[in-house]
Structure 1
Amino acid sequence: MLYAIVIGIITATVAPLLHRTMGRFVVIPMALLPLLLFIYFCTFMPEVVGGHAVTQQHVWVPEVGINLQFRLDGLSLIFALLITFFGTLVMYYASGYLDGDPLLGNFYLYLTLFMTAMLGLVMSDNIFSLFIFWELTSISSYLLIGYKQAEKDSRVSAWQALLVTGLGGLALLGGLILLSISAGSYTFSGLLTQRADVLQHAFYVPAVVLTLIGCFTKSAQFPFHFWLPNAMAAPTPVSAYLHSVTMVKAGIYLIARLSPVLAGPDIWHYTLMTVGGITATLGAVLALQHTDLKAILAYTTISALGLMVTMIGIGTDPAMKAMLVFMTAHALYKGTLFLVTGCIDHCTGTRELSKLYRLGSHMKYSGLAASLAALSMAGVIPFIGFIGKELLYEASLSSYVLLAVTMLSGITFVAVAIVFGYRVFWRKGEDKTQLQHHAGFPLYFPPLVLAIGGLALGLLVHLVPTPLLQQGMRAILANPNAELKLSLWHGFTPVLGLSVLTLLLGYAVYKSLTVLHYRASTLKPLYRYGPNTLYHMMFEGFLHHAKAFILWLQDGYLRNYVMYIMFFFCGLLYFILWRDTPGIDFTNRIYQLHEIRLYELVVFFLVIAALIFLLGTRSRLTSIVVMGLVGYSAALFYILFGAPDVAATQLLIETLTVVIFVLLLHKLPAFTYLSHQFQKYKFIAISALFGILMTYVMLLVQQQAMSTSELKEYFGKTSYLEAHGRNIVNVILVDFRGLDTLGEITVLAVAALGIFSLLRLNPERGGKQ
C-alpha cells in the first residue's frame, strides 16, 4: 500500500514533463495509474470480504509514535475502489474537457496528487499520517479549484475552500490528539480497543467537538456548507471528482471510522442528527432556487451529505446500511450528472437551465447517461438509487422529524432528476439549443459508464455490492456478525408507499419550478446574513485590520523594529524570571561594590557620559564616533577582566564599524530627528529596561553558577588533546560547534548580500532610515 502512495506521488510529479513530451497522449499514463490501482485493490476483495483486515506498517518517526500504518478493511476498501474507479474515468474525461489546454500537465499533477492523498487518507491507521494526507487533500483541492487562476472567482473560491477546510483541519488535529491521549494509542484500531477509556475520559467532549468541526468543514455541513457551491468555479472534472465522490466524502469517512469509538453518548448522536438534518434540509431548499446546473448539483450534494451524516448519527444497523448504500448510489449518479453538465457547458457554452432545450437530438449518449443517472437519483427500480432511497426511509421511520427531512431531500432529488433526465434533453415544445461543437468520445463515455454502473449494481445487488458493503457496515458498527441483505423488492410495504409518494410529490415540485425560481428572488435579502456573507465580512475585516497593523508595525524605521524586538524579548524574559527563578541576595552584592577600582569607575563613567552625549547629538558623524568610544570602553573592560582575545575581537569590530560608517556616510539618507521628547524617553526606557534585565540575569547566573559540569570537564580535557588548541572558547566554536559557526557565517554572508542590495537601491535624499 505504501508503494501505491509512492507511485502516485512520483507520477504526479512527472505529469508536467510527460505532457511536454507526449502532448495529448499524456492521458494514457495518467489514466492507467488509477486503473492499475483499482485492479490492485480488487485483489484484496477476497480477503476483506472474508472478514480479514489487511494491515501494513512502515517505521517513520518511532520516537514520537508516528508511523506509516495502513489498514484495509471493508470501509476503507469501498472508498479506495471508488477513488480509483472514478479517478480513471475523470482522468480520461479531462483529456477531452481540457483538450489543448497548455496547463493540462499541471492539472494532472494536482489531480493525481489529490487522488493519492485520498488513498492515503482512507487507508491510514495512524492518526498523524491520516492528518498529513487530510491536509494534502486540502492543498491539492485548492490548486484544482483555483486552476483557472486568471479568473477572480476561481482564486476567491480556492482561498475560501482552503481556509475553511484548513482551519477545520487544525481543529481535527486537536481532536485526534485528545483522543490519542484518552486512549493511549495513536492508531484507530488502538482507539477501538480502548473505547471505554475514551468515553470516560475528561477529554471526550472537547475531542468530539474538535473532531466533528474538522469533519463538518470537509463534508460541507452547516454552517460550513457555503464553500462547496462556490467551489463550482473549478473545471467540471474537479467538481465531479472532488465535490461529489471523494473530498467531501472524506469527512463522512472519518465520522464513520470514529463512530464505533465515539458513539454512545447523546452529544455524538444528537449533534450528528441535528447538523445533518439542517444541512440536508437547507441543501434541498437552496437547490430548488437555482438555475445553474452545477449550482443545482452542488446543493443537492450538500443535501445528500447531510443525509449521510444523519444516518451515522442515528447509529442503528438499518441507518448504517442506508448510509453505505446511499453513498455508493450517490457517487455513481452524481458523478454522472456532473460530467454530463460539463459536457453540456463544453458543447453549448452555457449551464443556464433557461437556455437549454432538446439537447438529446444532438447529444444522444450524454442524454442517455443523464437519463439513467436521473432514474437512479429519483429512486426508480431497478437502480441502486432505489435501494438506497428505501433504506433511508426504513432508517428514518423511528422519528417523524427525520422522516420529514429524508422525504424533503428525496422530493428535491426527484425534481432535480426530472430536470436533468428529461427537461434538458428530451422535453418537446421549444427550439433546440444549438451546439458550438459535438461531444467527443472522452466527454460522453465516462458518464455513460457511471450511469450504467448504477443500473448494473441495482440488478446485481446480490452478487456485487452486498458482500463488500456488509464488511463496510461491520467496520462502522465494530460488529463482525452484522448482516446486510439487499434486495430490489420487499413487497408492498409502507417504505414502498413512501417511495411512490416521493416520486409524485417530486413531479409536482418539478412542475412548479418556474414559480419557485420566481419566488426565490424575494429570499435574496435573507442571504445577506448567511454564513457565506459572514465569511466574506470576516475575511475582509481581517485583511483590513492586518494591513493597518502592518502599516503601524512596519513603518520603515529601524529603531522602531529594534524597540519592538527588545520590548517583546524583555516581556518574555520578565515572565520567565517571575515564574521560575529564585530571587537574588543583593546583600553580598552591595559589599562587593567596595572592591571596585578607580580605573574601572573611570571607564564606567566614560561610557555613561558618552551615552548621555549620544542622546543629545544631532550629528550622524558625532554619533558614530561616540558609539565607537562606547565599543572601545567595552574592550577595555574585557582586558581588565582577563579576556584579551575577546577584547581584540571587539577592537577590530569597532574599528571596522567606524571606518565603514565614515566611508558610507555620504551614501546614507538624511538624518531623521525625533519630533517629540516622548519618543526619546520611550527609547531610553526600553534601553534601560533591557540593561536592567540583562544585569539581573548575569547576577543570577553568577549566583546559580555550577561548581562542576560534565561539559566543562570534557572540554578542558579534550580541547588540546583532540582539537590541538589551548584557547577552549575558540576550540568550542571552531571544532566542537563547527556546524553552528558555519551557520552563523552563512547568516552573516546572507545579511551582507542583503545590505549590498539595499545600498544599490540608491534611496532618495530625505528618505527613511
Structure 2
Amino acid sequence: MVMIAVLSCFVVAGFAPWLHRLIGRQTGWLLALLPATIFVYFASLIPQISSGETLRHAYQWFPGMAIQFSFLVDGLSLLFALLISGIGFFILAYAGRYLEGHPALGRFFLFLLGFMGSMLGLVLSDNLISLFVFWELTTVSSFMLIGFNHEDADSRKKAHQGLMVTVFGGLALMTGFIMLGMAAGSFELSEILAGPSLTEHSLYLPMLSLILLGAFTKSAQTPFHFWLPNAMAAPTPVSAYLHSATMVKAGIYLLARLNPTLGGSSSWLLTLTFIGALTMLTGIILASRATGIKKVLAYSTVMALGTLTMLLGLGTEKAALAAVTFLLAHALYKGALFMIAGILDHEAGVKDFRDVAGLRRLMPKTTIAAVVAALSLAGVIPLFGFVGKELLLEAVLSGSRWQVGLTIATVTANIFVVLVAALLALKPWFGKTLATPKAAHDPGPALLAGPVVLASLGLLCGVLPFLPDQYLLQAAASAVYGQPVSYSLVLWHGINLPLMLSLGSLALGLLLYRFWQGWREHTVLLERLSPYGPENGYNRLMQGLVSFSAWQTKTLQNGYLRHYLITTLATVVLLVGWAVLRLDTIALNVDFSGLRLQEITVVLLLLVTTLAAVTVKSFLAAVALLGALGFGVALIYVFFSAVDVGITQVLVETITVLLLVLVLYRLPEFRKLSSGVNRARDATIALLSGGLITVLILLVTNARSMEGISGFFLEKSVSEGFGRNVVNVILVDFRALDTLGEIFVLALVAIGVYAMMHLRTGALPVTNADKRYAGQKQRKSSAKTGGES
C-alpha cells in the first residue's frame, strides 16, 4: 500500500490536464481526494507506529546491485507523510480557485501532484539510491513549479537559480550516499540505522561533509539561503506547500533521519549548531526588514529551518522532541499564513504591508485565521507554537557547551519573530482602512478552508498537546534520537527560565514593532551590503561559467574536425600512455615466427598504401588509395577465417569509393592549407596513436587470464542459434537488439535520403507561426526605419 500511495500521485498527475479540460473549475476538489485518501491511509497506521512498531515494504529493483525499491514507515516518516498529504489536500483545493481561469492550470496540477509524489517517496524511502532518485525528482518538479509563469523572465531566472543550487547539492549528496553505503555495508536505511554509529569510520568526515552540503542547499542554510526567498516567484499555492510541508523540509528530514548514525560527533555538533544559529539569525533579521508579505514569510521560513538544524545539531533527547514539535507547529502556521497571503493578493490585490490596513471589517473570517496563525508563530500561549518555543528554549539551555551563546541567539531570534508575527497579525487587519486595488471580501471555502483548519489545529494541539505528543511526536522524536524518548509535551511548565525568556522576547518584540519604521531606517546598511552577499557570489559564479564555456567552445569546439581529432587523440596518448609507462612490467612478447608470405605481403601493401594516401595531391588518387587500404584489410579478414566480415568490408569499401569519386570528381586539387610544422605535428600524433594502440593490443593478448568467448559461440551456435554460420548467429541471435538498433538507424537514414531526393523545389506552405514571425520582423524593421527618418 505504501508504494501504491507514492506511485498513485504520479499516475493521477498524468491524467490531471485531461481531467481539468473535462471538469473545469471543480478539478482542484476532485484531485484533492487523492491526498485525502493517502492521509487517511497513513493516519490508520498511527496506532501501530505510536506503539513502537516500524513497517517496511521492499520490492526488487536492481537485484544484481542489491538495490531495492523499499519503503520504511516509522514515527519520523509518518509525521512527514501526514504533513505532505494533509496539507497537500488543502493546497490542491486552494490552487483550483486561486489559479482559476489560468490557461495552464491543468499543467500546474500535473507538476504539483508529481511534486507531492516525489516528496512522499523521499521521506518514505528505505533505500539510499531510491531516496536520491526522489530527492532529484523534487528538484526537477519544484523547478517546474517555481518557473510556472515561464513567460516572465524573472520567474525563469529564479527557477533556474533554485535548480542550480539544489542540483549542486544533489551531486554532493549522491557521492555522500555512496560513501555511506560503502561504510555501512548496506544501502538500506533500516540496516544502516540498526548498525553501529559511523562516527569513527575513516570515511566519516568526507561523507558527512558531502551529505551536509546536500542537506544545506536543499533546506536553504546560510550561505545558500538566498534561493528560497527568490522562489517566491512561484504562484502562492506552490509557496505555501514548499515552505510548510515539502521541499525545504527535505534537508531537515535527511539530517533527522541520519542523526542516529552520523550524529553525536564534535563535527556534527559544531557544524549544525553554528550553521543553524547563523541561518536562524540571518533569516529573521532579513524578515524584519522586508515589506512584501510573501517575502517576510519566506525569510521567516529560513529562520525556522535554521532553528531545526540547530536543534538536530544538539542531538539531545530534549532537542529531538523539540525539533519534531517545532516542525509540526511551523507547518501548521506557515501553511495557513502563506495561503492567507495569497487570499490578500487574490481578493484585495495587495502584496505589501505598506499598501494595506483595516481589513478586519471586510474580511472577518480571514482576519481570525491570520491572527491565530500569527500568534502561534509568535509563540503565544495556548497556541502550539508556544509549546514548541518553550521546548526549544529548554533544549538550548541544557545540553551544550555553547549554551550561553545559543541561548542569546535563540532569544534574539524570538524577539524578531514576535516583530514579524505582529506585522502579520496587525498590519493588514487593524488600523485605518486603506483603499485596495480590488474590493476586499472573504473568499469562498476553497481558499479559506486551508487557513482555517490549519490555524485551528495549531490552537487545538496547543490546548491539548498530549494528543500529538502521544500519537505522533513521541515516535518521531524516538526515530530522530535513535532510542525512545522520555519527555512529554505539556502546555504549562510552571514559572521557569524558559517562560521568563519567552515573556521577555514577547515584550521586546512588541516594542520593536512599535518602532518598526525606525528599525528599517537604521538598518538600511543591510540593503547596501546585499549586493556583496552570497547571491552576488552565485551570480558571479554563473557568469564565470558562461565565460569559461564560451572560451572552451571557441578553443575546443571551433568547428574544425581535424582539431577535434588532434585534441582527442593527443589526450588519449598522454593519459593512456602515461598509465602504460607506470606499469611495473611491460611484456609484449612479439613473435614473427608464424608469419606466412601472403600475410607479410598484405602488411607491406597496407604500409605502402597508407604512405601514398597521405602524400598524394589528388582527391581521386587519395580516394583510390583509401579503397585499396580497405581491400587489404578485407584480405586480412579472409586469411583469419572471417570470410563474412571480409565480404562486408569489400562491399562497404566499394560503395564508399564510388560515392566519394562521384562527389569529389568536380572538386579542385589539393591546396597546401597547413604548414610543414603542422603536418609534422599531425604525423607525430598519428604515429604515437597507432603505436599506443599496437602496444595495448599486445598487452591485452599477452595478459589474457581466461578463455576467450569464441569457444562459447562455437558451442552454442547450432544448439541455441540453430545456425552454423557463427557470425550470422551472433548478429541475429546473441546480439539481436544491437543489430536491430543498427537496422533502425539505417532505416532512418534511408527515409531521410528518400525525403531529400523527392523534396519539391517549389514554395512550402506558409504556416500561422511563419506569418506571425514575418509580421514581428516587419514591425521591428518599420520601427527602425521610422526612427532613422
Deviation at 1:93, TM superposition (A): 0.7
Supply the distance in 2 between the matched residues of 1:703 and 1:470 (Cα, whole angstroms): 65
Matched position secondary structure for 2:70 = strand
Q: Give the equivalent residue in structure 1 for 2:552.
A: 549
Matched position secondary structure for 2:224 = coil
Q: Give the equivalent residue in structure 1 for 2:430.
A: 426
Q: Give the equivalent residue in structure 1 for 2:49.
A: 48
Deviation at 1:37, TM superposition (A): 1.1
Supply the distance in 1 between the matched residues of 2:640 and 2:206 (Cα, whole angstroms): 58
Deviation at 1:384, TM superposition (A): 0.7
Q: Give the equivalent residue in structure 2 for 1:728.
A: 726
Q: 1:161 to 1:585 in 2, by over 3 A?
A: closer
Q: 462, 467, 479: which one pairs with 1:463? A: 467
Supply the distance in 1 between the matched residues of 2:101 and 2:524 (Cα, whole angstroms): 39
Deviates more, 1:313-322 or 1:627-636: 627-636
Q: Percent identity?
A: 42
Deviations 1:240-295 (A, max 9, x none): 10123221111112211211222222111111111101101111111122211111
Deviation at 1:421, TM superposition (A): 0.8
Supply the distance in 2 between the matched residues of 1:202 and 1:703 (Cα, whole angstroms): 38
Matched position secondary structure for 2:212 = helix
Q: Give the equivalent residue in structure 1 for 2:781.
A: none
TM-score of the pair, normalised by structure 2: 0.89
Q: Give the equivalent residue in structure 2 for 1:452.
A: 456
Supply the distance in 2 between the matched residues of 1:584 and 1:445 (Cα, whole angstroms): 79
Deviation at 1:718, TM superposition (A): 4.7
Deviation at 1:392, TM superposition (A): 1.6
Q: Give the equivalent residue in structure 2 for 1:742.
A: 740
* Matching of residue 356 in structure 1 with residue 365 in structure 2: no
Supply the distance in 2 between the matched residues of 1:642 and 1:189 (Cα, whole angstroms): 57
Matches within 5 A, 1:26-41: 26-41=27-42
Matches within 5 A, 1:381-392: 381-392=381-392
Deviates more, 1:525-534 or 1:642-651: 642-651
Q: Give the equivalent residue in structure 2 for 1:504.
A: 507
The letter of the residue matching 2:741 is G
Matches within 5 A, 1:125-136: 125-136=126-137
Matched position secondary structure for 2:69 = strand
Deviations 1:105-163 (A, max 9, x none): 11111111111121122222222222222221111111111111111121122122122
Supply the distance in 1 between the matched residues of 2:591 and 2:295 (Cα, whole angstroms): 79
Supply the distance in 2 between the matched residues of 1:679 and 1:575 (Cα, whole angstroms): 24
Supply the distance in 2 between the matched residues of 1:375 and 1:479 (Cα, whole angstroms): 33
Q: Give the equivalent residue in structure 2 for 1:57.
A: 58
Q: Which runs of 5 or more structure 1 residues have no equivalent in the other structure?
A: 763-769
Supply the distance in 2 between the matched residues of 1:206 and 1:423 (Cα, whole angstroms): 48
Q: 713, 716, 720: which one pairs with 1:715? A: 713
Matches within 5 A, 1:294-305: 294-305=294-305
Supply the distance in 2 between the matched residues of 1:201 and 1:660 (Cα, whole angstroms): 64
Matches within 5 A, 1:406-421: 406-421=410-425
Supply the distance in 2 between the matched residues of 1:329 and 1:73 (Cα, whole angstroms): 20
Deviations 1:435-486 (A, max 9, x none): 2564531223321221122112112223344432122222222222x22322
**RMSD over equivalenced CA pairs, Å:** 2.9
The letter of the residue matching 1:309 is T
Supply the distance in 2 between the matched residues of 1:437 and 1:758 (Cα, whole angstroms): 63
Q: Give the equivalent residue in structure 2 for 1:765.
A: none
Supply the distance in 2 between the matched residues of 1:229 and 1:419 (Cα, whole angstroms): 18
TM-score of the pair, normalised by structure 1: 0.91
Q: Give the equivalent residue in structure 2 for 1:515.
A: 518
* Matching of residue 559 in structure 1 with residue 557 in structure 2: no
Q: Give the equivalent residue in structure 2 for 1:685.
A: 684
Deviation at 1:563, TM superposition (A): 3.4
Matches within 5 A, 1:259-270: 259-270=259-270
* Matching of residue 89 in structure 1 with residue 87 in structure 2: no
Deviations 1:466-513 (A, max 9, x none): 432122222222222x22322222232222221111111111221222
Deviates more, 1:376-385 or 1:573-582: 573-582
Q: 1:383 to 1:697 in 2, by over 3 A?
A: closer
The letter of the residue matching 2:258 is L
Q: 1:704 to 1:211 in 2, by over 3 A?
A: closer
Matched position secondary structure for 1:68 = strand
Deviation at 1:628, TM superposition (A): 2.2
Q: Which runs of 5 or more structure 2 residues have no equivalent in the other structure?
A: 761-789
Q: 1:417 to 1:716 in 2, by over 3 A?
A: closer
Q: Give the equivalent residue in structure 2 for 1:626.
A: 625
Deviation at 1:585, TM superposition (A): 4.9
Matched position secondary structure for 1:101 = coil
Q: Give the equivalent residue in structure 1 for 2:106.
A: 105
Q: Give the equivalent residue in structure 2 for 1:652.
A: 651
Contact 2:343 2:443 survives alignment (8 Å):
no
Matches within 5 A, 1:160-239: 160-196=161-197, 198-239=198-239
Matches within 5 A, 1:550-699: 550-571=553-574, 573-574=576-577, 577-578=580-581, 582-585=585-588, 588-589=591-592, 597=597, 607-638=606-637, 644-665=643-664, 674-699=673-698
Supply the distance in 1 between the matched residues of 2:256 and 2:334 (Cα, whole angstroms): 21
Deviation at 1:96, TM superposition (A): 1.2
